[in-house]
Chains A and B, each alone.
Chain A
Amino acid sequence: MNRGLTVSVVVVVLLLVVGYSATFFVHQAQNAVVVRFGKLVDIVENDPGLHWRVPFVDHVTYIDRRVINIDAPSFELLTSDQKFLVVSAYVRYRIVDTSKFYRAARDEQTAERRLVIALNETLRDKIGSVQMRDILSDKRAALMTEVTSVLKPAGDVFGIEVVDVRFKRVDLPQQNSEAVYNRMRTQRAQEATRIRSEGQAKAQEIKAEADRDRTVLLADTQQQAQILRGEGDAEATRIYNEAFARDPKFFDLYRSLQAMRTGLGGNNTTFVGTPKGDFFRFFEQDPDAPEPPKQ
């Protein structure tokens, strides 16, 4: 019983081993080439799944059929207006001709190395013929399309379709960056000065306006004040006239006496003179007294 079992197990295992050796699976995302003693005998393109081969003789190489990415190293390139740019691009490609790719490149590294060299040349060429302004503009997209189309023949050699080339980064080299920073700094300094000056100008304007307003206001007020005073004076004059007009003669007396009292009043006036006149009428002589004997 044990021997029968062992035999059947061995048979199953052998079948499995041979089965594996006679088949190969091609993944959904792959193509494959079958090589027998160095000779390409079969190509599996766009046909994933189970495939047959001669056991232990055929060698299968799988080749990716997806869109693959190359991150190219950064290049320092000179534009036509003599500006250095550090450009790093990436390339997207797809292996479209499996057998051509296998014969020409064998593996992706080889193809990619060549593509990067071609990319470098193309970029040097293209960027060298445009101005920096163009790279920083709408023309960038057109430039990349151009680079892509120039790169296509380089890919064709390997059965590769170059899908897309993109500038990941377009930067200035360190020392040029410094120059840009300097320019930005001076621009900002100008801006700051302008803002401050504008502030001062505005402030001065406000102050001047305030001073003007004050002067105008005070002058207007003085005007009003003088008018008021004039009104007062006029009214007073009218009142005086009305009163004094009753008897100009009496007014003369009354007002003269008043003026004398004010003008001569006080105790710092000295009267030097003869005691004569109306006031002194009785100073020397009593009118009712008997006439002194005449000498």
Chain B
Amino acid sequence: MAWNNQGGPWGGGGGQGGGQSPWSRGPGGGGQPPDFEEMLRRGQDRMKNLVPGGMGPGKVGALIAIVAVLLWAASGLYQVQPAERGVPLIFGKFTGVLTEPGLHWNWPGPIGSVLTPNVDAQNTVEIGFRSTGTSNTSFDDESLILTGDENIIQVEAVVQWYIDDVEKYLFAIRDPNESLSPDALKQDTVKNAAEAAIRETIGQSPFEVVITGEGREEVGKKAQALAQHILDTYNSGIKIERLSLQRSYAPQEVADAFRDVVRAGADAQSTVNDATAYKNQVTQQALGQASQIKNQAEGYRAEKIAVATGDAQRFVAVYDQYKQNPAITSRRLYLETLEQIMGNMNKVLIDTGQGGAVPYLPLDQLLRQQPPQPAPAQPPVTTPVPSASSGTGTTTSGSTN
């Protein structure tokens, strides 16, 4: 903004005779007019050496002048690098023809000058952060943006742009900081437009959308179109190759709360996992248990059938023999059985007689004594009492009372 009332940043006028404005980056000699006197003196000396016989002073002067003009004219040669375009100006006016890479000639300073903007370069503007070597520094002023649902989101974006129309780029738009350095790229123009576009786009999008990857992409696309539109209305000749939101995240102040949501997701998952583990355990246990129950039942069935079959066959076998001689066999079986039973039994044989005194039997004692000394208990008890009459003997009758 340091506008110089006396001459403007491109000076040139006002009788300084210098043409030293930043624009007239004169080819060759950086715009400095040749030092005539010095040149003349040098040329004079050279002439003297060349022509020892001497010529007329007028002739020498003319020769010197011609040489000087030729040298000056030669300084109008300039080179355009492969990525650049030459923009020759004569008296500050664009000749209307861009020159391709290579060697070209334009009027040397102070009459002519050449600008050589780089048209192939992809220029990068960073919004919301500055990459400093390996790490990025965040700029809260730029990166904190109000979303459509009145939340605040932090965004980092990168804009890549190039010069699309050299003439417009150079002569139709002025960068905010250009007065400081005329050769600088018009980064701030791009940045202002991109920032306005990003903020406008995010201002119309809800937080939940912008924070997602697809939302970011969408915002980037919309903002790119909008920024391009803005730049086009300025006739800037700037083309935005790509505007992309690198990151969008919750601001520092609420980051913990957002992280907690992520944690909550993990917590929920682990709770569910625990439950699933429980389910697996219970299911496996139940399967095992079920298998056990079923096998037991199958075992029971097999056992029952086997035992029944065995018993039946045994019975049949015995029965086959029994049929040969039923009386003997039944008697024998009866006796064998009672023999076995009576053999193992404790016995108290008494004869109730007919209406005799009821004998006192200390049954409790008998039963109690039994386990420790079953053998000696028998002989004294076994007191056969002869009796002629027949009575009914039962295991319980004839006892006390």
Which residues from chain A sit less than 8 Å from chain B, CB to CB? Answer: 1-2, 4-5, 8-9, 12-13, 16-17, 20-21, 23-30, 48-50, 55-56, 59-64, 66-69, 71, 90, 92, 106-109, 112, 132-133, 135-138, 140-141, 163-164, 166-172, 177-178, 180-181, 183-185, 188-189, 191-193, 195-196, 198-200, 202-207, 209-211, 213-214, 217-218, 220-222, 224-229, 231-233, 235-237, 239-240, 242-244, 246-247, 250-251, 253-254, 257, 260-261, 264-280, 284, 295
Contact = CB atoms under 8 A, between A and B. Distances in A.
Given A171-B146, A195-B268, 19 more contacts: A12-B36, A48-B94, A61-B8, A64-B174, A67-B234, A106-B5, A135-B203, A184-B207, A185-B254, A192-B263, A199-B264, A199-B272, A210-B282, A235-B301, A253-B334, A272-B347, A273-B397, A275-B384, A279-B342
Given A270-B366, A271-B347, A247 B390 contact: no
Nearest to B341: A264
Contact of A168 (B7, B195, B269, B319): B195
Contacts of A181: 152, 251, 253-254
A188 B261 contact: yes
B98 interface: no
Contact of A66 (B12, B174, B275, B279): B174
A140 B61 contact: no
A268 B347 CA distance: 10
B283 A69 contact: no
A204 B268 CA distance: 12
Q: How large is the interface on B (under 10, 10 to 19, 20 to 34, 35 or more residues)?
A: 35 or more
B304 A232 contact: yes
Interface string B283-305: 10111011001101110111111
Contacts of A254: 315, 318-319, 333
A229 B330 contact: no
A268 B370 contact: yes
A225 B95 CA distance: 106
B185 interface: no
Contacts of B57: 1-2, 4-5
A206 B279 contact: yes
B13 interface: yes
Contacts of A30: 8, 10, 92
A257 B304 CA distance: 21
Name the 5 nearest CB pairs between A and B, nearest first: A199-B268, A232-B301, A274-B393, A62-B8, A1-B57
Given A21-B15, A30-B8, A140-B200, A276 B390 contact: yes
B33 to A, nearest CB: 8
Nearest to A83: B150
A270 B257 contact: no
B158 interface: no
* Chain B interface helix/strand/loop/mixed: helix
Contacts of A240: 308, 311-312
B294 A232 contact: no
B316 interface: yes
A270 to B, nearest CB: 4
B274 interface: yes
A181 B204 CA distance: 19
B40 A5 contact: yes
Nearest to A279: B338
B106 to A, nearest CB: 14
A207 B279 contact: yes
Interface string B127-155: 00000000000000100111110111000
B15 A140 contact: no
Given A24-B13, A69-B176, A217-B290, A232 B334 contact: no
B395 A273 contact: yes
A31 to B, nearest CB: 10
Contact of B276 (A68, A191, A206, A233): A206
Interface in B252-282: 253-254, 256-258, 260-261, 263-265, 267-272, 274-276, 278-279, 282
Contacts of A168: 192, 195-196, 199
Contacts of A209: 279
B391 interface: yes
25 contacts: A2-B57, A4-B61, A25-B19, A27-B21, A27-B89, A49-B90, A55-B15, A60-B13, A62-B13, A66-B174, A71-B192, A136-B147, A136-B203, A180-B152, A203-B272, A206-B275, A213-B286, A225-B297, A232-B300, A243-B312, A261-B340, A264-B341, A276-B390, A276-B392, A279-B338
Interface stretch (B74-82, B213-221, B241-249, B348-356): B348-356
